[in-house]
């Protein structure tokens, strides 16, 4: 008959080999963060822009096997549990892809584009944007979308 220690080791090894242990740890971390989160300090609204940015980051995190971090991002940001469709994301960002670019996260392609761009003397011109304001006790109406 197996001892408790042997049983614990067997369960741990089984969960690890199935790839479940990491997911369980990530879910527990996300729930602990959620429980400890100060609800008096509201998060910025999940605008269309925030949704797209979070999705670019999630795609990058999952591609690099940073699943714990991705699960915490999802829980903290209010991002939908199911990822956005890759083609939808590319269309929203007005990105055209070839077959090889589809094998890596969109964020890699965007960074590569800007690193290799020779327009404007190698500089990218960014326009100012108005970010939504986080609601406060005196300001409960979100600011304009970007």
pLDDT of residue 129: 66
Tens of pLDDT, residue by residue over 11-26, are 889 988 888 888 888 7
Q: At what angle do helices 106-116 and 48-63 cross, to 10 degrees?
A: 100
pLDDT of residue 82: 92
Which is more confidently placed, 134 or 92? 92
Lowest-confidence region among 22-31, 62-71, 122-131: 122-131
Domain edges within the chain: 8-37+45-119
- The pTM of the full predicted model, rounded to 2 decimals, is 0.63
The CATH architecture to which 8-37+45-119 belongs is Up-down Bundle (1.20)
Task: For residue 119, name the pLDDT band (cuts at 50, 70, 90).
Answer: low
Matching residue, tokens 């690193």 = 115
Tens of pLDDT, residue by residue over 18-62, are 888 888 887 787 778 777 766 667 777 889 999 999 999 999 999
């Amino acid at each position: 008959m197996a001892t408790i220690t042997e049983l614990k080791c067997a369960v741990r090894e089984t969960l690890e080999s199935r790839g479940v242990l990491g997911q369980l740890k990530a879910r527990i971390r996300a729930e602990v963060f959620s429980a400890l989160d100060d609800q008096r300090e509201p998060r910025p609204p999940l605008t269309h822009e925030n949704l797209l940015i979070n999705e670019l980051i999630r795609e990058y995190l999952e591609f690099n096997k940073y699943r714990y971090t991705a699960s915490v991002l999802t829980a903290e940001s209010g991002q939908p549990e199911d990822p956005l469709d890759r083609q939808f994301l590319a269309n929203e960002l007005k990105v055209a892809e070839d077959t090889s670019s589809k094998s890596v996260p969109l964020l890699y392609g965007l960074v590569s584009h800007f690193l290799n761009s020779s327009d404007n003397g190698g500089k990218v011109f960014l326009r100012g944007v108005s970010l939504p304001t986080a609601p406060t006790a005196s300001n409960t109406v979100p600011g304009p979308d970007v």
